[in-house]
Amino acid sequence: MEGFLPNPWWEIWFALSLPVVAYGVYRMNNLIKEQRDTLPLLAVAGAFIFVLSSLKLPSVTGSCSHPTGTGFGAIIFGPGITSVISIIVLLYQALLLAHGGITTLGANVFSMGIAGPFVAYLAYKTLRGIAGFNIAVFAAATLGDLATYVTTSIQLALAFPAPVGGIMRSFLGFSCIFAITQVPLALIEGLVTMLLLRYLLALKPDVFSAFHISDKSKLAEA
């Protein structure tokens, strides 16, 4: 969607994303200095975004979209650090695939790197105690993926209000394209995220304890 956000919207989204990314860089520096043994997990979080956002999947609306993969990083490292990792893949796709864009990078970092991970992080923290680990991770990744595309719909609706019905009407239109298409993809993302997290947790529980992530079910020792 290169060039699809007019002035002043592309600047606004850059400005809103910048402080969060700066905070993320600060958090990431601390992590690298103080908890070097968690670096492989940071790499997995980035790699997971690489894999999932490369998979353009068909959906029930008859069009294709891709999952984000940011829920995994958000649950472990929080939204700040995840926003920094997401920039790598957004740049890869903008520069090599003409997908996303440089002028829309601020908006895309906000939707995929900040809004989605923030919702995923909150959902995980809220559900962890109530619903158990598997459900909390699944729901967090699913809701985070959906939140990214709801945010994209809001961003486009703000820039392109409908001539009749304004921003709300326009938002509903873009939601039908993005958010509804995303529902089955978000469910798949939730399932795969849950499986990967459970798998790594069974292999290396100690590295997760730094993030207060543990699986207390007796079957964790798989």
Partner 1 sequence: MSELKKLSLIVALLIAIIMLLTAFVPGMIGLTPEWGGADAVAANKIGEMSDYKPWFSPLWEPPSGEIETLLFSLQAAIGAGIIGYIAGLYTGRKEKNRDQP
Residues found near partner 1 in the complex (CB under 8 A): 1-4, 6, 40-41, 43-44, 46-65, 89, 92-99, 101-103, 134, 156, 160, 162-163, 170, 173-174, 177-178, 181, 184, 187-188, 191-192, 194-196, 198-200, 202-204, 217, 219, 222
Cα angle 192-54-153, degrees, rounded to a multiple of 5: 90
Q: What is the nearest approach in angstroms of partner 1 to the Cβ of residue 107?
A: 12
Using the minimum distance from each CB to partner 1, give the nearer residue, 115 or 194.
Answer: 194
**20 or 113: CB nearest partner 1:** 113
For the bound state, the minimum distance from the C-beta of residue 2 to partner 1, rounded and expressed in Å, comes to 5
Min separation Cβ 138 and partner 1, Å = 9
| Least spacing, CB of residue 184 vs partner 1, in Å | 5
**Residue given tokens 């809220």 in the structure block:** 126
Q: Which is nearer to partner 1, 83 or 170 (CB)?
A: 170
Q: Alpha-carbon distance 51 to 74, whole Å?
A: 16
Q: Which two tokens stand for residue 71?
A: 């829920």
